[in-house]
Chain A
């Protein structure tokens, strides 16, 4: 087990709603990454936090935001949800950016 945990495993919600996905990194890892995996877009990098600070940004929509807390867990907030936001959202962690990233099991979001 890589040690990265994500909650919830599944989430079903309606369009226009807001949800929060949670990620706890491996012990000792300071970096947290969020990815979106959908059938048409593949695995897309969203955002990275390192020790509480945003470090890199990918294709993250303005309706989405994230933060990393002092205990290093991270939350990804998705608002004004659209059908197209349905996807698997992965969190990964690493000691620092360059090193091996350890992935969590993902949260499957279904927007109806």
Chain B
């Protein structure tokens, strides 16, 4: 069965520190993976999709099929990065979300 696992509920870092939000998936086919972000009092919005291999707001994510992971990384965290981050997998006509990780960046 397809599944997305985000092992950390909360990740707390200081401004300027590197950030890695973990995401592991389980899917029998070729996965399409995404990261969504939800800032305080805002709607969920797409941050990254693995197929485009782009960097948004300094975040990158690499699909590692061997480890079935799609971790989100940023070398230097900013306070405005504080938000809820969801990893999601597209398969069988559905988007399956992980439980989410709350990133708190402290000054």
Chain A residues packing against B (C-beta within 8 Å): 2, 4, 33, 35, 42-45, 48, 55-56, 58, 90, 92, 97-98, 100-106
**Which residues on A sit within 8 Å (CB–CB) of B94?**
45, 48, 56, 58
Give A98's nearest chain B residue, CB to CB.
Answer: B90
Residue from A42, A98, A102 in contact with B97 in the complex, judged by beta carbons closer than 8 Å: A42
- Other A-B pairs, 10, CB within 8 Å; known A44-B97, A102-B45: A33-B95, A43-B100, A45-B95, A48-B94, A55-B93, A56-B92, A97-B93, A101-B95, A103-B43, A103-B44
Could you tell me the dominant secondary structure of chain B's interface residues? strand
Chain B residues packing against A (C-beta within 8 Å): 32, 43-46, 49, 86, 90, 92-100
Q: Quick check: A43 and B92 within 8 Å, CB to CB?
A: no
* CA A83 to CA B60, docked complex, whole Å: 40
B33 to chain A, nearest CB (A): 12
**Which residues on A sit within 8 Å (CB–CB) of B86?**
43
A65 to chain B, nearest CB (A): 18
**Which residues on B sit within 8 Å (CB–CB) of A45?**
94-97
A101 to chain B, nearest CB (A): 6
Q: Quick check: A101 and B100 within 8 Å, CB to CB?
A: no
Residue from B46, B90, B97 in contact with A43 in the complex, judged by beta carbons closer than 8 Å: B97
A88 to chain B, nearest CB (A): 10
**Which residues on B sit within 8 Å (CB–CB) of A55?**
93
* CA A35 to CA B94, docked complex, whole Å: 11
**Which residues on B sit within 8 Å (CB–CB) of A44?**
97
Most chain A beta-carbon contacts within 10 A, residue among B32, B43, B49: B43
Given contacts A2-B43, A100-B49, contact A42 B32 (CB under 8 A): no
* CA A55 to CA B94, docked complex, whole Å: 9
Given contacts A43-B97, A45-B96, A56-B94, contact A100 B46 (CB under 8 A): yes
